């Protein structure tokens, strides 16, 4: 094409062009990629930044074009090889600048500030619960009653709020796993839509991380309430975890699937990010940690299947054979009167919980480093560093757990738990001195659960009263309580003369029961009776000492 075709401007050739300004070249490539993503490249290309870029690679011994000359050359006269060279220069020579200039939104749903705070709150809460409840199994301060009472009060708050935390953690893990599986599945079913590899990676890491807080807490959970519901939730967690790990590694090990995601103009940003911006070392470390985490999850799955699917009779026989091989009896006493097998099982669970905690913090720490590296390399368009409505909303996830913990610590377990049920029910403490064992329901059909399930049980008021009337020990009434004409308990029985042998001059005999009967303690033994109430304190009138 002649020089006249470009209004008198002679463009440089590919051999004479001087590509040297990374900042302008990166801005041009980022703007071009963004116009391709938005579908405006043909009708509204970024001409101003294109003119700036052309002006930078014109040799100093050649004249610079005007905006019209540059637009005409770029729109109709540029050689395809020259255009390819304009793209390759910033892509290959300016990775830092191109990453900073890319219009890249990140993944605020999983890597935003508010969501990261939620992840750290869960990890901190899980660690606090695990450490305190694990230490409590070794019965600290058992020789110091004052310290033991304080310790029991503090640990009691964690123990009684543990079940709510466990349920919330399991539901949170299931939600994260479902979201991750959905992301991966959508990328397979709808590759034409926008699916960032960065977002798929985040979904996998966070989903696996979310499994470990409840798994760690499971190691210090002793209550046996809602066993079937809990087992169902764990079954869902196991199935979803297997699915998301399989989807993730099938993506990262398949070049065809990756190219399928990137084979569209709107995915050029992801292609550039994969090539120039991703912290590859941290990504590799996270992949290795995911494999380690999956190994620990697989081990726990085997234990879970053993306790869930193997009949208890068979487990007892296997345990008996194990003890026979070791030459130890299953009930041989150990520390604090526990059997040797109980000590071994407890220690194994604590070690397992410690490993789960280490994996949990390693996943969260590496993901934080990975996120920070991405955040520092990408530009201001990355939304990971800004707050959004959903991130603020996510902060409320663990607020109920914190409220439970603080409330039980301040008011005690029984009062706090009773505040969660309606007035039709009451909370009864169950302990060694008060074993509510399979008590039947009252008129309202209430049921008291077995004492080996929870230290606090919810019963209906009629059942609660019947327990006291039938002599089942419990915090229903004390030994001195008495019943009035209606059958209601009215507190301690008033002290009577025949109970103590003393006279209380501060109260009338008929009101306080000081006068019991004409035959009480020597009244008719003295042989006198004048028809008047006895004059206590004088011989012959029912007074004096018995």
- Cα(452)–Cα(436) distance, rounded to whole angstroms? 10
Q: What is the DSSP string of 288-354?
A: HHHHHHHHHHHHHHHHHHHHHHS-HHHHHHHHHHHHHHHT--TT-B-GGG-BHHHHHHHHHHHHHHH
- Cα(132)–Cα(145) distance, rounded to whole angstroms? 18
Lowest mean pLDDT among 313-322, 332-341, 408-417: 332-341
The per-residue pLDDT for 366 is 95
Enter the tokens of residue 36.
Answer: 């391709």
Per-residue pLDDT band for 116 (boundaries 50, 70, 90) equals very high
Average pLDDT of the residues of the chain = 74
Region 281-299: mean pLDDT is: 92
- Helix axis angle, 22-38 relative to 80-93, nearest 10°? 110
By DSSP bridging, strand 489-492 and strand 426-429 are unpaired
- Cα(501)–Cα(480) distance, rounded to whole angstroms? 18
The per-residue pLDDT for 530 is 47
The per-residue pLDDT for 509 is 44
Q: What is the pLDDT of residues 4-20, one digit of tens each?
A: 456 678 888 889 899 99
The per-residue pLDDT for 311 is 81
> 232 or 418: whose pLDDT is higher?
232
For tokens 């085997």, name the residue: 302
The per-residue pLDDT for 196 is 76
- Cα(258)–Cα(255) distance, rounded to whole angstroms? 5
3-state secondary structure 343-372: HHHHHHHHHHHHHHHHHHHHHHHHHHHHHH
- Cα(502)–Cα(543) distance, rounded to whole angstroms? 9
Q: How many residues does the chain have?
A: 546
Region 425-441: mean pLDDT is: 54
The per-residue pLDDT for 352 is 94
Region 509-522: mean pLDDT is: 42
Lowest mean pLDDT among 158-162, 325-329, 398-402: 325-329
Q: What is the pLDDT of residues 358-413, one digit of tens each?
A: 999 999 999 999 998 888 887 766 666 677 777 777 788 888 888 888 888 888 77
- Cα(32)–Cα(47) distance, rounded to whole angstroms? 10
Enter the tokens of residue 80.
Answer: 């395809």
Q: What is the pLDDT of residues 67-87, one digit of tens each?
A: 988 888 888 878 889 999 999
Contact by Cβ (8 Å): 277, 99:
yes
Q: Check pLDDT > 60 for residue 442.
A: no
Contact by Cβ (8 Å): 285, 365:
no
Region 338-352: mean pLDDT is: 81
Question: Domains of the chain: which residue ranges?
Answer: 3-101, 108-409, 424-492, 495-546
Q: What is the pLDDT of residues 447-480, one digit of tens each?
A: 333 434 455 555 555 544 444 444 444 444 444 4
> 495 or 275: whose pLDDT is higher?
275
The per-residue pLDDT for 433 is 44
The per-residue pLDDT for 399 is 86
Q: What is the pLDDT of residues 195-221, one digit of tens each?
A: 678 888 999 999 999 999 999 999 998
Q: What is the pLDDT of residues 101-113, one digit of tens each?
A: 887 777 888 888 8
Contact by Cβ (8 Å): 398, 168:
yes
Q: What is the pLDDT of residues 225-274, one digit of tens each?
A: 667 788 889 999 999 999 999 999 887 666 666 665 655 555 677 778 87
The per-residue pLDDT for 378 is 78
């Amino acid at each position: 094409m002649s020089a006249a075709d470009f209004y008198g401007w002679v463009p440089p050739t590919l051999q004479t062009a001087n590509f040297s300004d990374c900042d302008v070249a990166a801005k041009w490539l980022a703007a071009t990629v963004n116009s391709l993503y938005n579908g405006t490249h043909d009708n509204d290309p970024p001409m101003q930044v294109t003119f700036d870029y052309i002006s930078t690679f014109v040799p100093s011994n050649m004249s610079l074009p005007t905006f019209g000359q540059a637009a005409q050359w770029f729109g109709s006269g540029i050689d395809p090889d020259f255009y390819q060279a304009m793209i390759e220069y910033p892509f290959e020579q300016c990775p830092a600048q191109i990453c900073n200039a890319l219009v890249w939104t990140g993944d605020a749903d999983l890597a935003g500030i508010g969501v990261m705070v939620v992840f750290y709150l869960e990890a901190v809460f899980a660690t606090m619960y695990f450490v305190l409840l694990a230490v409590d199994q070794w019965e600290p301060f058992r020789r110091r009653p004052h310290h033991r009472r304080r310790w029991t009060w503090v640990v009691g708050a964690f123990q009684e709020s543990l079940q709510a935390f466990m349920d919330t953690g399991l539901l949170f893990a299931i939600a994260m796993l479902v979201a991750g599986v959905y992301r991966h599945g959508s990328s397979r079913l709808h590759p034409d839509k926008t699916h960032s590899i960065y977002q798929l990676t985040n979904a996998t890491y966070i989903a696996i991380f979310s499994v470990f807080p409840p798994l760690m807490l499971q190691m210090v959970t002793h209550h046996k309430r809602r066993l079937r519901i809990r087992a169902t939730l764990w079954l869902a967690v196991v199935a979803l975890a297997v699915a998301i790990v399989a989807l993730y590694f099938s993506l990262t090990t398949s070049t065809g699937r990756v190219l399928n995601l990137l084979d569209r103009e709107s995915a050029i940003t992801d292609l550039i990010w994969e090539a120039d911006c991703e912290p590859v070392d941290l990504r590799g470390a996270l992949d290795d940690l995911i494999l380690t985490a999956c190994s620990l999850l697989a081990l726990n799955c085997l234990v879970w299947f053993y306790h869930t699917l193997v009949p208890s009779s068979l487990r007892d026989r296997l345990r008996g054979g194990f003890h026979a091989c070791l030459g130890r009896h299953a009930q041989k006493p150990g520390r604090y009167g526990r059997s040797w097998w109980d000590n071994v099982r407890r220690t194994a669970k604590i070690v397992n919980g410690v490993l789960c905690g280490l994996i949990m913090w390693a996943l969260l720490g590496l993901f934080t480093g990975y996120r920070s590296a991405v955040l520092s390399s990408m530009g201001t368009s990355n939304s990971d560093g800004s707050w959004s409505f959903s991130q603020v909303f996510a902060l409320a996830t663990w607020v109920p757990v914190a409220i439970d913990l603080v409330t039980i610590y301040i008011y005690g377990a029984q009062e706090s738990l009773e505040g969660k049920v309606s007035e039709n029910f009451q909370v009864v403490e169950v302990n060694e001195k008060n074993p509510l064992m399979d008590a039947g329901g009252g008129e309202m059909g209430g049921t008291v659960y077995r004492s080996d399930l929870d230290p606090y049980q919810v019963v209906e008021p009629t059942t609660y009263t019947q327990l006291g009337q039938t002599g089942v020990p419990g915090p229903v009434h004390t030994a001195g309580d008495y019943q009035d004409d209606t059958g209601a308990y009215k507190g301690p029985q008033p002290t009577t003369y025949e109970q103590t042998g003393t006279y209380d001059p501060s109260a009338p005999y008929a009101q306080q029961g000081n006068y019991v009967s004409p035959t009480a303690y020597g009244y008719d033994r003295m042989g006198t009776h004048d028809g008047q109430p006895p004059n206590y304190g004088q011989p012959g009138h029912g007074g004096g000492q018995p």
